[in-house]
Amino acid sequence: MPIHLLSPLVVNQIAAGEVVERPASVVKELVENSIDAEATRINVEIENGGRDLILINDDGVGIPMDELSLAVAAHATSKITQTEDLNAIASLGFRGEALASIGAISRMSLVSRTKNDTGAARIDIEGDKVDDPKPSPGPLGTTITVRNLFFNTPGRRKFLRTDQTETTRISQTVEKLALSHPQIGFTFTTNKRKTIDLAPTQHRRERVLEILGRELDGELLELDVNERGIGMWGMIGKPAIARGTNRHMQVFLNGRSITDRSITHAIKEAYRGLIDPTRHPTIVLFMQMDPAMVDVNVHPTKAEVRFRNQAAVHGAVLSAVRNRLREDDLTPTFDLSRPGVGSLSIPGFKPEFASGVGSGGGGSSSQESTSQFVDYFRRLDPLQKGFIYSEVKEVLAESVPELLDDDNAKPQAAQDMEVLPMVRAVEDVLQIHSSFLVTQDEHGLLIIDQHALHERVMFEKLKEAIGKGNLESQRLLMPAPVDIDASQMELLVSLKPLLDRIGIEAEQIGPAAIGINAFSSFLFERGVEPAEFILELFNKASAEGLNNDTEAALHEVLDMMACKAAIKAGDKLTTQEITDLLRQREIVERSSNCPHGRPTTLRLSIEELEKQFGRR
C-alpha cells in the first residue's frame, strides 16, 4: 500500500484513542476546560454510564462565536503560544486536542456565551462533520453535550464496562477535580438523580471531609508545611483507617491530580511500620511548586509528570508526612456503641443498651439499661469479663443500689471478678491472661498488647543498632545445622550481605544443609534458636520473596528478629518488666503500632465510658 496522508477524521480518532479511553476521560477533559475558564459552578450530567449522554455546563468566561470553529479544531488552544510556554504550564489543559478528539467519536454540540455577548452561539460536530457556528439561546458560560460516545468506533464502545462501573469512574473523576478546586461548586447527576452537590467557596478541609466522609473528621490529621520550596497541605489519615485499595490515597500538584511512583513510595515509606504493608493509607495531599520545576507534558492524559529533581520531591514528601505522623497520638480509640471506623463491638452486646443510656439520663430508662447490662455481663464467659467491674460497681452504687447484692454490697459482676485468677494487678496496671496490660492515661483507659508493644521496642533498638554498623555477632562452638531444599540453597549467596548485616555467618555444609557458624548476639540474648530463625528466614525468602529494595528487605528481616525476640502472649511479666515496658512505650518512636502495622494499644475514652455508664 502506498504512503498517504490520513484524513482529519482518522487523525482525530487516533488522538481520541490516547485522550478518550472511556466516558470518564471525556468528563475529565471537559471539566478541566471549565476550570481553566474560571468557572465558579460546574454541573456534570450523564445517562447510562456516559454512553448516551455527557453534559457539562459551567459559568466560565465562555468562547466568542468567531472562535468556536477554532475551539473544536485539532491543536488549537488559548493556553500556550510558543515552545517556551511548555516549560512552565500552569493550566490544566493545553494540548488543544480534547474537543476535536471527542467530536470525532461522538455527536457533540457546544453552546457558549461571553460576558460581552448579547446572546450565545452554538456549533455542532458529528464525526468529521463540523457545522458553522450559529446564534443560539444560552446563559453566560459554556455547555457541551456529548451524545452516543464511540458511535462510529464500535470496537471501542463494546469494550466499555457496565453502566454502573462507568458511572463510578466518572463519579470518582468528578470527586478528584472537586477536591482540588474547593472554590468551585460541583454537581453530578446520573440518570436524573443527583449524587454529588458541593457548594462553592468551601474551605479545603470542608471539601475533603465532604468527599471522604465526615465520619473521618477525627481520624484525619491536617498537614501544612513548606519543605524544600514545595508547599504542602493535606489531610493525613491515622493508621486505623488504612484501606485495602489505594483509592483514598490522592495526590494533587498545582491543582492537577497526578500519579507518581516516587511520591507514592514516599507516602508509604512514611507509614512504614504503622500499617500492614498490604494496606494503603488514607491521604489527600496537595502540593504547590514552581511549574518550571515539573514537566506535565509527558503523558496524553497528563496523569503522570516528570520532576526536575525527583529525589528532592521524594525527600520533601517523606519528611513532611512522617513528621506529621510523629506529632500526633496515633493510639486508636474504639466506640462501643457503633460498628465502623475505629470501633470495637462486644459479642452479644446490643447497641440499644448504649442508646438507652444516652437518651435516658436517669430514671427508669437508665435503671432498665443498667439492669440489661448486668444481665448481659452475667451471661458472659468468665474469660470475657475483663477489667471494667470496678466501674460497674461505682455506677451501680451511685444510681441503682437495689441491684447490689444485699449480703456484701457488691454487684454480682464484682464477685465474678474475684474468681478470675488470670487478671493480675501490678500497682495501677492489670495484666490480663498474661497477654494484655490495662492501664490509663489522661484520655481514658488503655489496653496494651504486650507482644506487639515489645516487638516495636525491639525493632527500634535493632534499627538504632544497625544504623551504627553490622549487628554484633557471637560465634558458636559447633556449627548449627539447618536442612533446606535445593531451591533455597541458591538463596544463600544472595542473602549473604543481609546475613552479614544482622550478625549471622552461614555456609553450605552439604547438598541440602547449611551450617550456622555465628549468630546475632541480640537474638541469642533473647533466647532465639539459630536453626529455627534461619529456617524461617529462608522459607519466607523462597515463598514470599524479600523486597527488591535493600533497605526495605533489611527492615523486613528486622521485623522478623523483633517478633522472635519480643515478649510473647502468655508470658507472665514481673512488676519490673511491666514498668520497663510501659516506660519504653513513652519514649520509643511509633509505639502505637508494631512493625507490621498492627496497633499495640487501644483506647477507651473517658467520654465513651461515661456514655456507656449513663453519665452523659
Please say if the pLDDT value at position 349 is more than 50: no
The C-alpha cell at 186 is 460541583
- pLDDT single digits (tens) 596-608: 888 999 999 898 8
pLDDT of residue 413: 41
Sheet holding 249-253, edge to edge: 220-227, 230-237, 283-288, 249-253, 256-258
- pLDDT single digits (tens) 546-555: 777 788 889 8
pLDDT of residue 98: 85
Q: What's the pLDDT band for 523 if we cut at 50, 70, 90?
A: very high
d(CA 428, CA 579): 11
Tell me what the pLDDT averaged over the chain comes to. 83
Give the pLDDT mean for 560-575: 94
Please say if the pLDDT value at position 357 is more than 50: no
The C-alpha cell at 144 is 457541551
CB of 575 within 8 A of CB of 458?
no
User: Residues 6 or more apart from 473 whose CB is under 8 A from it?
Assistant: 503, 504, 505, 518, 519, 520, 521
- pLDDT single digits (tens) 195-250: 999 999 779 999 999 999 999 998 999 999 999 889 999 999 999 899 989 889 99
What percent of the chain is predicted at pLDDT more than 70? Answer: 79
Q: What's the pLDDT band for 488 if we cut at 50, 70, 90?
A: confident
Please say if the pLDDT value at position 17 is more than 80: no
Please say if the pLDDT value at position 398 is more than 90: no
User: Residues 6 or more apart from 455 whose CB is under 8 A from it?
Assistant: 562, 563, 566, 594, 595, 596, 600
Q: Which phi and psi angles does 43 have, rounded to 5°?
A: -115, 130
CB of 196 within 8 A of CB of 50?
no
Class of residue 467 by CB neighbours under 10 A (exposed 0-12, middle 13-18, buried 19+):
exposed
pLDDT of residue 14: 60
d(CA 335, CA 607): 10
The architecture CATH gives domain 204-327: 2-Layer Sandwich (3.30)
Q: What's the pLDDT band for 11 if we cut at 50, 70, 90?
A: low
In the chain, where the domains are located: 8-198, 204-327, 330-421, 429-603
d(CA 50, CA 157): 11
CB of 270 within 8 A of CB of 318?
yes
pLDDT of residue 414: 41
Max intra-chain CA distance, the chain: 107
- pLDDT single digits (tens) 31-51: 999 999 999 999 999 999 999
CB of 311 within 8 A of CB of 227?
no
pLDDT of residue 533: 94
Burial string for 291-307 (b: 16+ CB within 10 Å, else e) reads: eeebbbeeebebeebeb
d(CA 313, CA 27): 30
| Cross-strand partners of 430 | 425, 438
CB of 569 within 8 A of CB of 450?
yes
The C-alpha cell at 379 is 451471661
d(CA 241, CA 391): 30
Domains 8-198 and 429-603 equal at CATH topology level: no
10 Å Cβ neighbour count for 192?
7
- pLDDT single digits (tens) 290-340: 988 988 776 666 678 889 899 999 999 999 999 999 999 888 887 665 544
Q: Of the spans 2-16, 99-113, 408-422, which averages the highest pLDDT?
A: 99-113
Residue 430, SS3 per DSSP: strand
The pTM for the full model equals: 0.72
- pLDDT single digits (tens) 436-476: 999 998 888 999 999 999 999 999 999 999 999 999 999 99
Nearest to 601 by CA among 339, 343, 330, 347: 330
pLDDT of residue 498: 92
CATH of domain 8-198: 3.30.565.10
Lowest mean pLDDT among 143-152, 170-179, 355-364: 355-364
Half-sphere exposure in the Cβ direction for 117 (13 Å, CA): 22
Angle between helices 310-327 and 261-270 (to 10 degrees): 30
The CATH class of 429-603 is alpha beta
The terminus-to-terminus CA distance of the chain in angstroms comes to 84
Q: Which residue has the higher pLDDT, 136 or 3?
A: 136
